[in-house]
Structure 1
Amino acid sequence: MTVLAERSAAPSNIAPMPAITRLVGVGTAVSGAPVSQTELLDLMRIDDPRTRSVFLNSAIDQRHLTLPEPDAAGIRQPEPQGDLLDKHKRITVEMGSAALQTCLKRIGASLAEVRHLCCVTSTGFLTPGLSALMIRELGLDPHCSRSDVVGMGCNAGLNALNVVAGWSATHPGELAVVLCAEACSAAYAIDGSMRTAVVNSLFGDGAAALALVADGPGADAPTPPGPRLLKTASLLITDALEAMRYDWDREQGRFSFFLDPQIPYVVGAHAEIVVDRLLAGTGLRRSDIGHWLVHSGGKKVIDAVVVNLGLSRHDVRHTIGVLRDYGNVSSGSFLFSYERLVEEAVARPGEYGVLMTMGPGSTIETALVQW
């Protein structure tokens, strides 16, 4: 280890905080073919200038989607809800398997070592849950502890991290995995409404796995390197409870997602509140945070968070890059950004980071980590 790596970058006036667990590995996967916004407009035969502008001004270059096959006339027809649920099951298992195995390979762990698996998805409904399907698909130990977080939307990755961190803290040395698998193309509606256009212009398919191991006296081996999870904080904006929702569209006989046009400004206006709560009692200021990993919720959401927290574009470079390359992959978006930060290898021991996700509720979730 170099002298530079050994030198702590932590502010000198901050007292050490006990770790809940460590983030020791990450892996991602996508499904379907990459498709640009222009290609998607042509595939879906969207000619309306107003609708096209929503797609083309989204700050998204491409996304991975599994679209319905064209009919004899070359038109991609809306899929029945049953077919969409089948698609969700197939894609989430495929992507989830790939992401989890990539994550484990990077830390030199085997499938047999996974002792808790928490699966997150909001783009379809499964019973038994995705965790059970993943255990069967990958041949994990059937005694593996498991949990499923469903219906919480784009913020749910940090909700799962909070849950699994508690399990990890009571099982030091044992490997736990949070797996976010979102088949957003299984939640697509195809019609001419602006409501649909806003949603269809934004979301993509993706899965991300995060491995956790806690330090402790029961650990048989040294904990692998990775940032320590120190604290979490949440905010439910009850006045905006209906601003993001996934509900039944009676006209189409299927579920449909709704995004209120004001949601970026609602999230932005409340971001400062929850971050201040996260840092309260730590002695840290926002200026002490070296790394910001924010959910790639959309261009306006990112801009609103940047303005309200006083961040730079460099602070959210990975958030912007993930949105550009994958769109909004829902609950796993922040882990796509975390993977890029890990690959960048710029985080130094002692530095702090904030993870932030936003979703239905309207909800903002945050976590404080230290390298």
Structure 2
Amino acid sequence: MTTLMQRTGLLDERSAAATRMAGSAARIVGVGTAVPGAGYSQRELLDILRVDDPRIRNLFLNSAIDRRFLVLPPEQEDGRRAPESQADLLAKHRATGLDMGVRALQATLKRADADLSDVRYLCCVTSTGFMTPGFSALLIRELGLGRHCGRLDVVGMGCNAGLNSLTAVAGWAAAHPDQLAVMLCVEACSSAYVFDGTMRTAVVNSLFGDGSAGVALLAGESGEERGPQILKFSSCIIPEAVDAMRYDWDSNEGKFSFFLDRDVPYVVGAHVETIIGRLLSDTGLRRGDIAHWLVHSGGKKVIDSVMVNLGLTRHDVRHTTGVLRDYGNLSSGSFLFSYERLLEENVVRPGDHGVMMTMGPGSTIETALVRF
């Protein structure tokens, strides 16, 4: 039987370990976002794209999305939008992504009170196209970042990739105290659109918007008291739902086509309690102790499923639903748009805890625990 002294010693050891972990943890010291210049309501998009199918119109108009920012195909002489080849879409991915990425990175550094010359590590995340070299190299050249800047490109992981990548960037920051690391999510989702009149593609076309979001991290003395500490990450992959979210090659259209299974909300909802339990284990925290929830804006049904299964209120997910309403699903960077809104709300108090949550292909749920 464990003695009181042994239990006390174990608790002291855990406390000391937690203190050491928090002391070396990376802090979020800046965030910034960018979208294309043109925004459209759902009804405007239906009219522009000349969608008459009542099922598709109903899908768009009941999506809990008011507006999205997109780079649409060019207009032809007859007023219709020009068809885009896969090559056209990849060119859009590069041009739109680079433009948004530059502006989001600049906004992030401004918020972090840092300069381009301060960036020592750059991780770029995208799932809306493939190119080599990736956005990290292109942005380093475009902005004149140092040629010795470490870099990483994370491609094709989907909407959960922001937190997957934040794990790597936080680890780099912790291993390099007082050196600035930046993660940049660059998602030109209109570069993944297929307009073939089917309900499969209509689900995607009704949901995703273009956007980029960056976050700057610092560990060590330079980051002290400058932003929330990232205390812990936890992941959950659901292999039996590996095909629920995927890119397929559409031979008829000659393009990649994204697929979302209609059961995705239920798959996510069935596992969120488990992942949050793992995230909060050994922390002494309960769900009720979490003051701020920053959940990926995956869609109305996904958000509702997370709310129901975690017992959250509409107020808890107000930033998540607000981002969905104003931008649509922004893929990997959605949770950072919500984080930016939380900061602008100016309600965070020192000592508050927050949970970040993303979900995407795999099927995967990623979480992070932060302390303000």
Q: Give 5+ residue unaligned stretches, structure 2.
A: 1-13
* 1:136-147 → structure 2 map (5 Å cutoff): 136-147=141-152
Map of 1:115 onto structure 2:
120
Residue 48 and residue 105 in structure 1: after superposition, are their counterparts in 2 closer, same or farther (change >3 A)? same
**TM-score, normalized by length of structure 1?**
0.94
Of 182, 202, 217, which aligns to 1:177?
Answer: 182
Distance in 1, Cα, partners of 2:243 & 2:79: 37
Distance in 2, Cα, partners of 1:264 & 1:368: 22
Name the Cα RMSD after superposition: 1.2
Q: CA deviation at 1:108?
A: 1.5
Of 193, 197, 214, which aligns to 1:192?
Answer: 197
Map of 1:259 onto structure 2:
260
* 1:24-173 → structure 2 map (5 Å cutoff): 24-173=29-178
Map of 1:315 onto structure 2:
316
Check whether the contact 1:78–1:189 (CA below 8 A) recurs between aligned residues.
no
Distance in 2, Cα, partners of 1:48 & 1:159: 38
Q: CA deviation at 1:107?
A: 2.1
SS state of the match for residue 201, structure 2? helix
Letter aligned with residue 143 of structure 2: L
**In the alignment, structure 1 residue 353 sits paired with structure 2 residue 354:** yes
Map of 2:213 onto structure 1:
208
Residue 222 and residue 90 in structure 1: after superposition, are their counterparts in 2 closer, same or farther (change >3 A)? closer
Q: CA deviation at 1:223?
A: 3.5
SS state of the match for residue 300, structure 1? helix
Instruction: Map Cα deviations across residues 323-349 of structure 1 (whole Å, 9 max, x no partner).
Output: 000000100000000000011111111
Q: CA deviation at 1:106?
A: 1.6
Map of 1:228 onto structure 2:
229
Distance in 2, Cα, partners of 1:283 & 1:187: 43
Distance in 1, Cα, partners of 2:142 & 2:128: 20
Q: CA deviation at 1:222?
A: 5.6
Check whether the contact 2:26–2:223 (CA below 8 A) recurs between aligned residues.
no
The structure with more helix, counted as a fraction of residues? 2
Map of 2:344 onto structure 1:
343
Check whether the contact 2:29–2:111 (CA below 8 A) recurs between aligned residues.
no
Check whether the contact 1:41–1:52 (CA below 8 A) recurs between aligned residues.
yes
Map of 1:8 onto structure 2:
none
Letter aligned with residue 330 of structure 1: S
Q: CA deviation at 1:78?
A: 2.7
Q: CA deviation at 1:224?
A: 5.6
Q: CA deviation at 1:77?
A: 3.3
Check whether the contact 2:295–2:320 (CA below 8 A) recurs between aligned residues.
yes
Map of 1:6 onto structure 2:
none
**Percent of aligned pairs with the same residue?**
67
SS state of the match for residue 74, structure 2? coil
Map of 1:288 onto structure 2:
289
Map of 1:327 onto structure 2:
328
Check whether the contact 1:233–1:365 (CA below 8 A) recurs between aligned residues.
yes
Check whether the contact 2:160–2:358 (CA below 8 A) recurs between aligned residues.
yes
Instruction: Map Cα deviations across residues 97-126 of structure 1 (whole Å, 9 max, x no partner).
Output: 000101111221100000000000000001
Check whether the contact 2:29–2:223 (CA below 8 A) recurs between aligned residues.
no
Letter aligned with residue 99 of structure 2: E
Check whether the contact 2:135–2:153 (CA below 8 A) recurs between aligned residues.
yes
Check whether the contact 1:24–1:224 (CA below 8 A) recurs between aligned residues.
no
Check whether the contact 1:356–1:367 (CA below 8 A) recurs between aligned residues.
yes
Distance in 2, Cα, partners of 1:108 & 1:162: 23
Letter aligned with residue 117 of structure 2: A
SS state of the match for residue 177, structure 1? strand
Check whether the contact 1:77–1:190 (CA below 8 A) recurs between aligned residues.
no
Q: CA deviation at 1:48?
A: 1.0
Letter aligned with residue 340 of structure 1: R
SS state of the match for residue 357, structure 1? strand
SS state of the match for residue 312, structure 1? coil
Q: CA deviation at 1:234?
A: 0.3
**TM-score, normalized by length of structure 2?**
0.93
Residue correspondences, number: 354
Distance in 1, Cα, partners of 2:69 & 2:247: 21
Distance in 1, Cα, partners of 2:307 & 2:354: 15
Q: CA deviation at 1:283?
A: 1.2
Distance in 1, Cα, partners of 2:190 & 2:247: 14
Check whether the contact 1:35–1:65 (CA below 8 A) recurs between aligned residues.
yes
Q: CA deviation at 1:72?
A: 2.1
Instruction: Map Cα deviations across residues 57-84 of structure 1 (whole Å, 9 max, x no partner).
Output: 0000000000011222221133000010
